């Protein structure tokens, strides 16, 4: 099972991807998590990505295409994977298509979580509060200014992906405003 989750920041992509990893025994490949790990380890990629991420802007297609290609080659992806936060631009989607072709792999579905933009800032604030309550570290881009920028980046660069995947006949849309369990059930119906 090879899936892509689309949707703005705070739509619930990460939450749903995590739930499905358990159900299908396939890993969640979050480019955001991979980049945050690279920043934490101060790798070359991490050093290049940090300021861009903190500003809520997108890291270059070249960097993310390469980290995803390397990650897909790892043994735990043999049965499939869930891409969360990638592709994020039409050029990334085209690169992914070529990458998968080159590896002899096919996508099963592209699932878009539709949400009201007005709810997204509130969700980000809730995520910050929950992280603090759990004693965790808040993401450096989970602040109002960077979040606004992330939403703008989404509208300008990522939203056109819906049309791209509608064109390939792979796009499935789910109401991301529903309860977490309802959203999961809707996704499972699509995948059944």
Catalytic residues: 13, 88, 127, 139, 150
- Contact segment (CB under 6 A) with ligand AMP among 19-27, 57-65, 70-78, 165-173 equals 57-65
Site residues (CB under 6 A) for ligand AMP, limited to 22-51: 31-32, 35
Nearer to ligand AMP, 98 or 189 (CB): 98
Q: How many Å is the Cα radius of gyration of the chain? A: 16
CB 72 within 8 A of CB 103: yes
Q: Which residue has the tokens 């819906």?
A: 162
Question: From CA 157, how far away is CA 149, in angstroms rounded?
Answer: 12
CB 34 within 8 A of CB 49: no
Nearer to ligand AMP, 12 or 32 (CB): 32
Q: Does residue 186 bind ligand AMP (CB under 6 A)?
A: no
Nearer to ligand AMP, 88 or 183 (CB): 88
Q: Does residue 184 bind ligand AMP (CB under 6 A)?
A: no
Burial (CB count within 10 angstroms: exposed 0-12, middle 13-18, buried 19+), residue 168 = exposed
Q: Does residue 85 bind ligand AMP (CB under 6 A)?
A: yes
Nearer to ligand AMP, 12 or 56 (CB): 56
DSSP 79-148: T-EEEES---SHHHHHHHHHHHHHHT----EEEEEE--HHHHHHHHHHHHHHHHHTT-PPPTT-SHHHHH
Q: How far is the CB of 34 from ligand AMP (least distance, A)?
A: 8
Q: Does residue 58 bind ligand AMP (CB under 6 A)?
A: yes
Binding site for ligand AMP (CB under 6 A): 9, 31-32, 35, 52-53, 56-59, 64, 85-86, 88, 92, 141, 150
């Amino acid at each position: 099972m090879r899936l892509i989750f689309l949707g703005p920041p705070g739509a619930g992509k990460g939450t749903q991807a995590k739930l499905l990893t358990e159900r299908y025994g396939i890993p969640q490949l979050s480019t955001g998590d991979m980049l945050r790990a690279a920043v934490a380890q101060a790798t070359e990629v991490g050093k290049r990505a940090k300021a861009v991420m903190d500003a809520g802007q997108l890291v270059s297609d070249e960097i993310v295409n390469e980290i995803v290609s390397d990650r897909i080659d790892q043994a735990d992806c043999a049965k499939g994977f869930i891409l969360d936060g990638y592709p994020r631009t039409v050029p990334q989607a085209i690169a992914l298509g070529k990458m998968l072709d080159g590896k002899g792999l096919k996508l099963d579905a592209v699932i878009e979580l539709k949400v009201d933009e007005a709810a997204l800032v509130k969700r980000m604030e809730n995520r910050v509060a929950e992280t603090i309550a759990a004693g965790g570290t808040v993401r450096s881009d989970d602040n109002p200014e960077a979040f606004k920028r992330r939403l703008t980046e989404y509208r300008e660069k990522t939203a056109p992906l819906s049309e791209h995947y509608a064109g390939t006949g792979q796009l499935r849309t789910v109401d991301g405003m529903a309860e977490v369990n309802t959203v999961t059930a809707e996704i499972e119906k699509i995948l059944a």
